[in-house]
Homo-oligomer: A and B are copies of this chain.
Amino acid sequence: MGQPKYRQIASELRDQIVSGALREGDRLPTEPQLEERYDVSRNTVRDATALLINEGLVHRVPGRGGGMIVRRKAILTFHAHRAEMPAPPTAEADAWRTEVVAQGYEAAQEFSLMIRLLSSDIAERLHVEPDSVAVLRRCVRYVNGQPSSLQDTYYPMDLAEEIRELLSPKDIPQGTTRLLGERGHEQTAYYDEYLSRMPTPEETNLLGLPPGTTILLHIRTGYTEQRPVRVSFNVFAGDRNQIVTTHGDVRVIARFRPEEAPE
């Protein structure tokens, strides 16, 4: 009796999924069927399937015609380098839209603006006093009508007072990075952090995440030659996104990855 029952059941079902016997969109047996097949109580069945859910392999759909369904993984590629360095070829927001469309999906974005008291970790990145206020521009990004990622960008208050457009809750057509550049705050360096963690309840709501979905967090701090001028928190639903960057001679890569061809 090395393994408990619920782990054995989970292993069998997992094997069927990773081996391809059960494909994306397929239904697992119903809970009563699994009780019967393995001769266990319903709670044991649920302990087993809870593992698969936390692994992000399946999700449960209540109601008649529902069931436990193998999750699809349509992964969107986001090029972190394209949007901004060295001279942004297009605005940042449009760069995202362009990528989504190029990959055959439908793109939509929702902007909102807030004034926030800064937590210490954000204040440190912006090199301002903790408990000072900053402008937060939020952009929730939808792919095929489903929320896919969001971007929270913080600007120091003094910068926003100099560049009043930052205080408007509207999309900035040319992109904020380019706008800042035009007003004498060109960003010449970026500090990028990549993290993986489970979502907060707020992120679960904003992105409509099913259980077992991770967060891929990309934090970019942008510097002019003088100081940091913004920090962006890119929050990606881990089951639907990947980030790609390249270093060195892109032409070599493009020979083997045509989609990376420089435009």
Contact = CB atoms under 8 A, between A and B. Distances in A.
Interface of A: 11, 14, 43, 50, 54-56, 81, 85-86, 127, 187-199, 201, 211-212, 214-218, 223-228, 236, 238-239, 242-250, 252-253, 256-257, 260
A215 to B, nearest CB: 6
B242 A191 contact: no
At the interface, is chain A mostly helix, strand, loop or mixed? Answer: mixed
Contacts of A249: 188-189, 223, 225
Of listed A54, A193, A245, residue having the most chain B CB within 10 A? A245
A228 B215 contact: no
A117 to B, nearest CB: 15
Contacts of A248: 85-86, 187-190, 223
A178 to B, nearest CB: 16
Contacts of A252: 188-189, 223-226
Given A85-B247, A247-B85, A214 B227 contact: no
B191 A194 contact: no
